[in-house]
Amino acid sequence: MVQKVHADAEAALAGLLFDGMTVMAGGFGLCGIPENLIAAMRLAGVRDLTVISNNCGIDGFGLGILLESGQIKKMISSYVGENKLFEKLYLSGELELEFNPQGTLAERIRAGGAGIPAFFTKTGVGTLVSEGKEIRNFDGDDYVMERGLVADLSIIKAWKGDTEGNLIYRKTARNFNPMMATAGKACVVEVEHLVESGQLDPDHIHTPGIYVDRIIAGARFEKRIERVTTRPRDTAPGKEAV
Amino acid sequence: MVQKVHADAEAALAGLLFDGMTVMAGGFGLCGIPENLIAAMRLAGVRDLTVISNNCGIDGFGLGILLESGQIKKMISSYVGENKLFEKLYLSGELELEFNPQGTLAERIRAGGAGIPAFFTKTGVGTLVSEGKEIRNFDGDDYVMERGLVADLSIIKAWKGDTEGNLIYRKTARNFNPMMATAGKACVVEVEHLVESGQLDPDHIHTPGIYVDRIIAGARFEKRIERVTTRPRDTAPGKEAV
Amino acid sequence: MAWTREDMAARAALELQDGFYVNLGIGIPTLVANYIPDGMSVTLQSENGMLGMGPFPFEGEADADLINAGKQTITELAQSSYFSSSDSFAMIRGGHINLSILGGMQVAENGDLANWMVPGKMVKGMGGAMDLVAGVRRVVVVMDHCEKTGAPKVLKRCNLPLTGAGVVDLLITDLGVFEIDRKVGGMRLTALATGVSLDEITAKTEAEFVVAL
Amino acid sequence: MAWTREDMAARAALELQDGFYVNLGIGIPTLVANYIPDGMSVTLQSENGMLGMGPFPFEGEADADLINAGKQTITELAQSSYFSSSDSFAMIRGGHINLSILGGMQVAENGDLANWMVPGKMVKGMGGAMDLVAGVRRVVVVMDHCEKTGAPKVLKRCNLPLTGAGVVDLLITDLGVFEIDRKVGGMRLTALATGVSLDEITAKTEAEFVVAL
């Protein structure tokens, strides 16, 4: 019987890493990132990575630790905003960076996993993003052709997973994880709660196990929050202070 | 406050029907079909319909009743198999029929709802399906360009829905319903269980309410089964007789 | 003498491997599920939106919301999951299914497959077959070697509308087994059914093939 | 005299309608949520994968798995739902969101918007802004009328890299309100901020505009 469950992040990545590889990493900001697998990649020391991820963590956490160690050669992302080192390395030319609109990035990954080599979108027409790409008019509007994206490896974070690799995400920690699970030649997942097959309702599964090659219960989840924004208890509930 | 909940199928379709319109109808075979809304369309007598649906029901049930009444001018489907009248009308030329591979049909509808006017797929290359369409080579393989599909109206069946239009489907009755909900200019849904907003777990919602314009608790669900296939009680459980 | 439907299903089951995700077509391919070896884990996909298809329900327990792509009532297993048709075919088109076993009307020596219509006579529609043969990593066709009239079905070129061009990897008929190199084209006969001679299968096959028994 | 950030948010809130699904950008647009009229039902979308965004959590109740697109902790409401980034942008790109209110660095008289980078100096990335302006049915930009240096930001043509070409329907600044015909091009000044004269706004605007007060 094929065994998807591995003991820890190091074991789950064994044999899958090589210099120059392309890796997709789930998460939006620090929300829903595979923090245990990222830490294991840092320890493994694999280099010249092309990393596909909406952001690149922050200084000292998330993918930021792979930037600091110089393991990343190129990022394919939509947003740099919260990471000073990321912005600095890019502006100084030390890091290649391919900017994708967030929705185009999400759709390229979904297309890659779905066997769609290219699609047309209105996003980015008339901007830097569409330069050098085919523009085509459909029914009176211009669209740009974007290509599907795949990776050698996708590293994913889910809330619950079972031994068959079926996954359920929690709240906005879902984000890029489901598409990335489909677009890696190999897919390794860390979950907060690893359960036996049969414990997840088949109607609630977000990522079917077919996409998951290896799964671990994460040893430790720091789950840092970038911007803890709260309201005092005496605020009236409802629409204020959104 | 905008009110999505309507009293019955007739009320939910009021003002949305016109001759010559294009309608998407969810379901696979008779599984997950909007039977109350189909019956109301029959009663409304709207004609010259182009219907996008994987199948066309069976003789006397589901979309089959709109075939019998002569309300359908054209079908866009992947399978005719179980409907004798459908096959007969097509072979005699009385019904236009555009065959789409099932996955291409599903993806065209998903694309229509997602603002993607066209995409490339390997499905159907070298067959009748790709005739007259653009073929393009990506990375050594040929793909055919397929267009997104939208409709004037989509009629959908879900298991549970709330007053905001959030939907949850049950088992394989999900099928084409979620994509179709996104690709109709208007979307009307019938559910078996209509609940108050807040009764559905936000992580379990398959179709967010933004896609749903009108919703009803179906008056009556016949839920016919095309092929009741069972095994006797003394069969050993497991892999036999799948 | 030749292979029965059960024999053909049993032969097709030799293509299964532990951990495989497999889509089985209607007819003989469905029977393959009965020949999954003990201890081997194979997950069946149903293209209408399910992974982990279980056996038929017990009498009286059929659920209208739980059918397979052949519209038969089925059951779920511990590992089952449900998804939409677009997600199902994203899985198929994206190459995530290891093996597709399906029926055929005609197979040609270049790997072409026809199984969805006879112009002017019979039209079922392609359903998911075109997506399966285009997207699944390995495609196995199981069919009778000849028409009931005796006309050959294993041809130099299909004369019925294609389901896919150059898509078949392995052909299992009641008379034998052929490997097909779908990139270059070309068939190799790798097994004869019980009691079938090389002369017989050669006589009943229009396609050119190399003998590699 | 001119409008404050709160005044601008209040003016932007006049664009809301009952039943609208709305995406609010970071900064002043976020404040618009405070001006939703009583009895009006407006559902806020957060492009990282949520519909029905609620207020900030009470102290001590922040949830790391529940943030908005500005990475702030938020809460859910009775009608909330979660979805993936691809589903979120399918919703945006597919034209299902009624209104997008976002900030800007420059807006041109043809409806062009720049708000994501200053070459060689500042780079944030476009995030979801390019998708929002391309896909949402109506796009409202809220920004200061001029740079801190006094340089105009309402221009004949943007000189920063664009976020979208011909995408802005309405521009609200601290000095006034402009409607933009993004098909034909052309701005119409429809309101002046409190205490702002036509002379002042004309002097501080590079773009050509028609006065329609």
Q: Is D44 on the interface with A (CB under 8 A)?
A: yes
Is it the case that residue A31 has pLDDT exceeding 90? yes
- Beta partners for residue D176, in sequence order: D192
Question: Can you tell me the distance from the alpha carbon of A221 to that of D154, in angstroms, rounded to the nearest whole number?
Answer: 47
Measure in Å the smallest separation between the Cα of A87 and chain B Cα atoms. Answer: 32
The first and second tokens of residue A2, run together, are: 């094929």
For chain D, positions 93-122, list CB contacts with chain A under 8 A: 93, 112, 120-121
pLDDT of residue A106: 98
Where does the pLDDT of residue B236 fall: very low under 50, low under 70, confident under 90, or very high at 90 and above? low
For chain B, positions 86-145, list CB contacts with chain C under 8 A: 87, 90-91, 99, 101-107, 109-110, 121-129
CB contact under 8 A, B116 and A115: no
Query: Are the C-beta atoms of residues C110 and C84 closer than 8 Å to each other?
Result: no
Question: Can you tell me the distance from the alpha carbon of A211 to that of A167, in angstroms, rounded to the nearest whole number?
Answer: 10
Q: Which helix (H) or strand (E) holds A156?
A: strand A151-162
C47 classed as catalytic = yes
**Per the residue annotation, which of C47, C61, C147, C200 is the catalytic one?**
C47
- Detail the DSSP E strand segments found in chain B: 22-25, 49-52, 72-77, 96-99, 118-121, 135-138, 141-147, 151-162, 167-168, 184-195, 214-217
Chains linked to C by 3 or more Cβ pairs within 8 Å? A, B
CB contact under 8 A, A119 and B116: yes
CB contact under 8 A, D91 and B210: yes
Is it the case that residue B221 has pLDDT exceeding 70? yes
| Interface confidence (ipTM) of the complex | 0.97
User: Which residues in chain D touch residue B114, judged by CB atoms under 8 angstroms apart?
Assistant: 89-91, 93-94
CB contact under 8 A, C51 and A211: no
Where does the pLDDT of residue B90 fall: very low under 50, low under 70, confident under 90, or very high at 90 and above? confident
Question: Can you tell me the distance from the alpha carbon of A112 to that of A116, in angstroms, rounded to the nearest whole number?
Answer: 6
Residue A23 vs residue A59, higher pLDDT: A23
Best CA proximity match to B218, nearest among B46, B19, B26, B1: B26
- Segment A106-135 shows an average pLDDT of 98
Q: Tell me which residues of chain C have a pLDDT lower than 70.
A: none
Distances from the Cα of A181 to the Cαs of A23, B3, C205, D67, in angstroms?
A: 11, 38, 45, 22
CB contact under 8 A, D81 and B209: yes
Determine the distance from the C-alpha atom of residue C41 to the mean position of all C-alpha atoms in its chain, rounded to a whole number.
Answer: 19
Q: What percent of chain B has pLDDT over 90?
A: 87
Q: Is C135 on the interface with A (CB under 8 A)?
A: yes
Where does the pLDDT of residue A239 fall: very low under 50, low under 70, confident under 90, or very high at 90 and above? very low
Nearest to B197 among D79, D93, D94 (CB): D79
pLDDT of residue B2: 82
pLDDT of residue B239: 45
User: Which residues in chain A touch residue C82, judged by CB atoms under 8 angstroms apart?
Assistant: 202-203, 205
- Detail the DSSP E strand segments found in D30-186: 43-46, 50-53, 76-82, 99-102, 106-108, 113-114, 117-118, 122-123, 138-142, 154-155, 170-172, 176-180
Where does the pLDDT of residue A240 fall: very low under 50, low under 70, confident under 90, or very high at 90 and above? very low
Is it the case that residue A242 has pLDDT exceeding 60? no
DSSP strand pairing (B22-25 vs B151-162): parallel
Buried b (16+ CB within 10 A) or exposed e, A82-92: bbebbbebbbe
Q: Which residue has the tokens 């979660």?
A: D82
Q: Reduced to 3 states, what is the DSSP secondary structure of residue C60?
A: coil
Q: Compute the mean pLDDT over every residue in chain B, rounded to the nearest whole number.
A: 94
Interface with chain D: mutation pick from A229, A231, A234, A235, highest number of D CBs within 10 Å: A229
Question: Can you tell me the distance from the alpha carbon of C131 to that of C116, in angstroms, rounded to the nearest whole number?
Answer: 13
Buried b (16+ CB within 10 A) or exposed e, B171-198: bbbbbbbbbbbbbbebbbbbbbebeebb
Query: Residue A174: which residues within 8 A CB-CB, separation 6 or more?
Result: A32, A206, D49, D82, D83, D84
Condensed to tens digits (0 to 9), the pLDDT of residues A42-76 reads 999 999 999 999 999 998 999 999 999 999 999 99
* Whether pTM exceeds 0.80: yes
Where does the pLDDT of residue A235 fall: very low under 50, low under 70, confident under 90, or very high at 90 and above? low
Is it the case that residue B237 has pLDDT exceeding 60? no
CB contact under 8 A, B175 and C60: no
Interface with chain B: mutation pick from D79, D97, D133, highest number of B CBs within 10 Å: D79
Nearest CA in chain A to B103: A114
Q: Which helix (H) or strand (E) holds D131?
A: helix D129-135
Q: Is B117 on the interface with A (CB under 8 A)?
A: yes
Helix orientation angle between A102-113 and D85-93, rounded to the nearest 10 degrees:
120
**Total count of residues recorded for chain B:** 242
- Beta partners for residue D76, in sequence order: D53
User: Which residues in chain C touch residue B206, judged by CB atoms under 8 angstroms apart?
Assistant: 84
Q: Reduced to 3 states, what is the DSSP secondary structure of residue A180?
A: helix
Angle at the Cα of D20 (from D19 to D24), degrees rounded to 5? 145
**How many beta carbons lie within 10 A of that of residue A18, not counting itself?**
12
- Segment D6-35 shows an average pLDDT of 96
Residue D171 vs residue C124, higher pLDDT: D171
pLDDT of residue B208: 98
Q: Reduced to 3 states, what is the DSSP secondary structure of residue A239?
A: coil
Q: Which residue has the tokens 């990035």?
A: A105
CB contact under 8 A, A107 and B116: yes
User: Which residues in chain C touch residue B159, judged by CB atoms under 8 angstroms apart?
Assistant: 65
Q: Which helix (H) or strand (E) holds A103?
A: helix A102-113
